[in-house]
Amino acid sequence: MTTAPVIKIEGVWTSFGDQLVHRDISLGLGQGEILGLVGASGCGKTVLMREMIGLQTPSRGRVELLGQDLAGADVRIQQELRNRCGVLFQGGALFSALTVYDNIAFTLRELRVLDESLIERLVAMKLSMVGLDVGSAMLMPAELSGGMVKRAALARSLIMEPEVLFLDEPTSGLDPVLCEDFISLLRELHRELGFTIVLITHDLDTLSDLCTRVGVLADHRLVSFGSLDDALRCDHPFAVEFFHGRRAQRIFHRLS
């Protein structure tokens, strides 16, 4: 039996006034897959991710999330779909006036269906999952290192036990050691929990070590979608520069 795609995009066009962002983009992502989206700054990666979550509506085309047509879903259904997703925003986007604990507990408190004792246990569980100790819970975001910010934000994105995880530049601002640690953490969580991941990245190590699918956005189009080998074979000028430039050789030379 064929499993329906977790995310399905068909013929999506996106424009803001006279500015064309996407032209006829289509893709499908199955359960448990990890998609890495790459492209030049301003090519519409974040816009496409927002359309996948239902935070933005394309000008034309169809977007399905977890089997539901987002354009045809009412507000209640759209919110239920978002509750089945987790999002790690670029830079972490923790609420600066809240402690780590309150950041992670925020969504659960907004739902008003759990008592505080259960919320406390769930927050402690998520902190443990991302490698933060209980003492970190009472710290303010300004007191955290860059790596701790990413882990706290990841814990917040996991608090609703998501089926799909959206990550916008999850390793940006991390040094190579912290970047490797964070990717290892994502790989371990993915293996344990089996969620589908969509991530925007410019990091070649992330693509090589984590992603099962790679999508390359350029000239308003998805010029490559498939395996990393497919991206490496793409002859679009952006893909050639990105995957075969000097900085990429040490990672991809064995696959060229």
Is 185:130 a contact under the CB 8 Å cutoff?
yes
Q: What is the DSSP letter of 136?
A: G
Is 182:171 a contact under the CB 8 Å cutoff?
yes
Domain extent, residue 206, equals 1-84+164-170+196-256
Q: What is the CATH number of the domain that holds 52?
A: 3.40.50.300
Number of structural domains (the chain) is 1
Is 194:162 a contact under the CB 8 Å cutoff?
no
**Is 176 within the bounds of a domain?**
no
Query: Could you list the pLDDT tens digit for every one of the 256 residues in the chain?
Result: 347 899 999 999 999 999 999 999 999 999 999 999 999 888 999 999 999 999 999 999 999 999 999 988 888 998 899 999 999 988 888 999 999 999 999 988 887 777 889 999 999 999 999 999 888 999 999 999 988 999 999 999 999 999 999 999 998 888 888 889 999 999 999 999 999 999 999 888 889 889 999 999 999 999 999 999 999 999 999 999 999 887 777 665 554 4
Handedness of CA 83, 194, 25, 173 (dihedral sign): positive
Q: Which residues of 161-192 are buried (b: 16+ CB within 10 A; e: fewer)?
A: ebbbbbbbbbbbebeeebbebbbebbeebbee
Q: What are phi and psi of 132, to 5 degrees?
A: -110, 140
**Is 23 within the bounds of a domain?**
yes
pLDDT score recorded for residue 91: 80
